[in-house]
Amino acid sequence: MSTFRLADVPMAKDRTEGFRYVSAAGEVVRSVDDGSWFLTSEEAVRFAQRHPEIFASHGATSGGGTIPIPLVPVGTDRPAHTKYRKILDPMFSPRVINAMEDDLRGQIRDLIAAFADKGECDVVADVARLFPAQVFLTFFGLPLADRDQLIDWVETILDNSIGVGTAEGKPPVAVATRELLTYITSYIEKKRQEPSDDVLGRILALQGDDAWTTEELLGFVFVFTVAGLDTVAAAIGFTMRHLATHPELRRQVIADPALIGPVVEEMLRLEPPAPGVTRITTQDVEVCGVRIPKGESVVLYMGTANRDPGRYTDPDTFDLAHSELGHMTFGGGIHRCLGSHLARRELRLVVEEFHKQIPEYEIAPGFEPEVKWPSGTIRLASLPLKFPTTAEKR
């Protein structure tokens, strides 16, 4: 059995190099940081996804004791998980998202228009941080005016994240978590008094055996806030960086918007914002010839499984043909990402609307994009772009 140290993984500048480093250690390897087991191959990850009764979610992500509520539905197992997904899946269906598209498209169009004539922007600060937060607020029927405060809470929590899917119990995290939960609670109570046709309102309207407790609803909104904002923001940054450095691909996308979907899928495969999810073994189990004892923390590492040479030809290379083979970035099995349809729609809208207003751009000269590492999620800290102003185009 091989081991590795997260801090030694060369991930900051090049995820290809980083994921190769982890994969080279083997299909089942152990982190010396906290003893977690990492499943790195497609075979190993799919085995765990097919056996949620062995690789349990409950208790796998505790947040270092800073999250005093059930993490719905990601931190639950059957039969509770089945109950939650039966209720939630229809609320996040393409049909529901289609009805919101015009509103969301208008929001991203306005965000881009705010800097379109300035000749420069930071995609992370001006788009990726802002748009997912606005989508969340819209989806849950909360005021857009709360955007910046919401982002501040989420970033405080995530910036103190270590490893994969964990958070240290540092005072700033505890404070941000408490304030975010207080904020969510206030709107839950408000919507109890004033019913609304949004996700919060629909869950509050459930009756009988389907009804949720306040703690369940708090846990669900908390998970969706922290996971949804950061991962989509990261995917926006990685996608725009790739298009900025590949002008021919960018022009193809502008000429044929049908290519946006495959571009997004290939970027999600190569640059997964949350490359691993944590589980707890409920019994001794053998994976790819390695025995893992009961009660161990196991990370399903989709970042490396997405580059398995047994599935993809030249797996580290961006190739639109790979998009037809799928990827594991949204997980698999019963825990497949609830918000995957919404995330894909956000990414498509950003790419479409950005290029309508700013078709030509490049990364600011001398800037080299990097990610924070080690970290539970992977995202660019900044992505400054330069582009012609309206006057220069004339």
- Is residue 392 pLDDT above 90, yes or no? no
Q: pLDDT tens-digit profile of 319-365?
A: 999 999 999 999 999 999 999 999 999 999 999 999 999 999 999 99
- Averaged pLDDT for residues 224-236: 93
Write down the H helix ranges in the chain.
15-24, 42-50, 80-88, 94-113, 123, 131-139, 147-158, 171-193, 199-204, 214-245, 247-255, 260-270, 302-305, 340-357, 390-393
What letter does residue 57 receive in the DSSP assignment? -
Short-list 6, 50, 350, 69, CA closest to 213: 69
For residue 338, CA distances in Å to 16, 84, 305, 326, 357 come to 27, 11, 20, 17, 31
266 has pLDDT over 70: yes
**The two structure tokens encoding residue 155:** 């970033």
Once rounded to an integer, what is the mean pLDDT over residues 131-148? Answer: 97
Q: Mean pLDDT across the stretch 284-291?
A: 97
Separation between Cα atoms, residue 341 and residue 227, nearest integer Å: 14
Superfamily of domain 2-393: Cytochrome P450 (1.10.630.10)
State residue 226's pLDDT score: 87
Pull the structure tokens for residue 140: 């849950």
Burial of 156 (0-12, 13-18, 19+ CB in 10 A): middle
Percent of the chain with pLDDT over 70: 94
- Could you tell me the residue ranges of all domains in the chain? 2-393
- Give the model's confidence band at 163: pLDDT under 50 very low, under 70 low, under 90 confident, else very high: very low
Residue 349 CA to residue 357 CA, distance in Å, equals: 13
pLDDT band at residue 393 using 50, 70 and 90 as cut-offs: low
